[in-house]
Structure 1
Amino acid sequence: MMKELIEYIAKSLVDDPDSVQVTEVEGEQTSVLELKVAKEDLGKVIGKQGRTARAMRTILGAASTKARKRAVLEILE
C-alpha cells in the first residue's frame, strides 16, 4: 500500500512518469522505499529546500503509522 502511495505521488509530480520506480526493501520492523526518477525530474521530487520530499515523508509516516509499520523514504540519484 505504501509503495503504491509513493509511486502515485511521484508520478503526479514528474514530467516522465514512466521512469518512476519504487522499490520496497522490507525489514522486520521497517520498510525502506527507494524512489528513483529520471535525472531531470529529481528537482521536482525533492522540491525547494527539500519541501516536497519532506511532505512525501510526512504522508508516508502517517500511512505507516496506520499500517503499524515504520517506513522510510530514500530518493536515489
Structure 2
Amino acid sequence: MADIKALITTVVTPLVQYPDDIKVDFKETTRYLEYNLTVNPEDIGRVIGRQGRVASAIRTIVYSVRVSGPKRVRLTIEDGQQKNS
C-alpha cells in the first residue's frame, strides 16, 4: 500500500506547480484497492493532460503494480475544491 502511494506521489510531483498540495488517500473495498489522488485545482489540468493522456499514463503505471490477492488497484484523480452537497 505505501509503495503504491509513494509511486503515485513520485510520478505526479514533477508535473504540478504545488507539490505540497498532493494528497493520496487509500480505501480498501471488497473488489478494489482504491487510491484517491487530490491535487491543487490549478494543477488538475497538468495531471489530466490533453484528452486525458497524462492521467491515462499515470493509471497505466499504477495498474501495472502487482498486488497479492484478487483485488485490483483503482486510481481516481480529483482537484482540491470542496464539493457542495
**TM surpasses 0.5:** yes
Computed over aligned residues only, the root mean square deviation of the Cα atoms, in angstroms, reads 1.2
Answer 1 or 2: which has greater helix percent: 1
TM-score, normalising length: structure 2:
0.81
Separation in 1 of the partners of 2:6 and 2:28?
A: 15
Give the corresponding residue for 2:37. Answer: 35
Aligned residue among 59, 62, 65 for 2:61:
59
1:29 Cα offset (Å) = 3.8
Please, which moves more after superposition, 5-14 or 47-56? Answer: 5-14
Q: Which runs of 5+ in 2 are unaligned?
A: 80-85
Separation in 2 of the partners of 1:28 and 1:2?
A: 18
Q: Which runs of 5+ in 1 are unaligned?
A: none
Separation in 1 of the partners of 2:49 and 2:22?
A: 16
The share of aligned pairs that are identical, in percent, is 39
TM-score, normalising length: structure 1:
0.88
Larger Rg: 2
Q: Read off the aligned partner of 1:24 and give its amino acid letter.
A: F
Give the corresponding residue for 1:12. Answer: 14
Q: Which runs of 4+ in 1 moved over 2 A?
A: none
